[in-house]
Amino acid sequence: MITVHGLRKSFGLLEVLRRIDLAVDAGRVTAIVGPNAAGKTTFMKTLVGLVVPDGGDVRVDGVSVRRSWSYRARLGYMPQTARFPENLVLAELLAMVKDLRGTTAPYESELLRLFELGPALDRPLGVLSGGTRQKISAALALMFDPDLLVLDEPTVGLDPLSSRRFKDRLALERSRGKTILLASHVMSDLEEMSDRIVFLVEGRVFFDGSLEQIRARTGEPTLERAIARMMEGERR
């Protein structure tokens, strides 16, 4: 579904993405992991069109994201930090997003119930807790029934019940054939949800394979220990 070839991005003298080549299979969960400043968020923002690359290309179903924006109608995005107009109430935000997308949100009511967001519908977004904002961000990513989900640290800030419900929902979306790309530092979440691990180090792909392959390569029993072992080896 997604092919990346020679992707490069710098901010001033800082080279963040260094000729990344990658293919993301449809209908699977691909985890993007790595140390801080590895380029994970920049990679995801490039995919959704928020960052313009300096070189290379990203294609979704064969269409370059640099030449067309139509693919975004099929995309659900959850940023690392949810920022909303603080003077709007949640009901107004939902109406605004539906108007911008020009379509209905088939899972709106279901997701509002799932994340218990009913009481927040008439409250200004500026007074809501960080956890509630994160639940709103999750609902917005899912409610338009996208084919592709791009999720950056999606469970950070969620309480245990909301996190469990969110992960169960992602499992359901995967069973429906959706393509899910996610970045997280919560290794237990990735171990539970992911089919494939892409490990970035300083803007390059250092490892690309299954959970079984990364365990075999490092000799470690868990993903957290395997990633830690790889990071230790990279720094030597």
pLDDT digits (tens, 9 = 90+) for 68-124: 888 888 999 999 888 899 999 999 999 999 999 998 899 999 999 999 999 999 999
Overall average pLDDT of the 221-228 stretch? 87
Q: Long-range contacts for 156-165 (Cβ within 8 Å, ≥24 apart)?
A: 156/80, 156/184, 156/185, 156/186, 157/130, 157/131, 157/133, 158/131, 158/134, 159/131, 162/115, 162/116, 162/131, 162/134, 162/135, 163/189, 165/114, 165/115
The CATH number that applies at residue 41 is 3.40.50.300
Q: Please check whether residue 166 lies inside any domain of the structure.
A: yes
Q: Please check whether residue 205 lies inside any domain of the structure.
A: yes
Higher-pLDDT residue of 233 and 35 is: 35
Q: Please check whether residue 51 lies inside any domain of the structure.
A: yes
Q: Containing domain of residue 190, as a range?
A: 2-86+149-235
Q: How many helices (H) and strands (E) does the chain have?
A: 8, 10
Q: Please check whether residue 124 lies inside any domain of the structure.
A: no
Confidence of residue 162 (pLDDT cuts 50, 70, 90): very high
Confidence of residue 235 (pLDDT cuts 50, 70, 90): low
Count of domains for the chain: 1
Q: Please check whether residue 120 lies inside any domain of the structure.
A: no
Q: Please check whether residue 186 lies inside any domain of the structure.
A: yes
pLDDT at 236 over 60: no
Q: Please check whether residue 92 lies inside any domain of the structure.
A: no
Q: Please check whether residue 105 lies inside any domain of the structure.
A: no
- Give the chain's mean pLDDT: 91
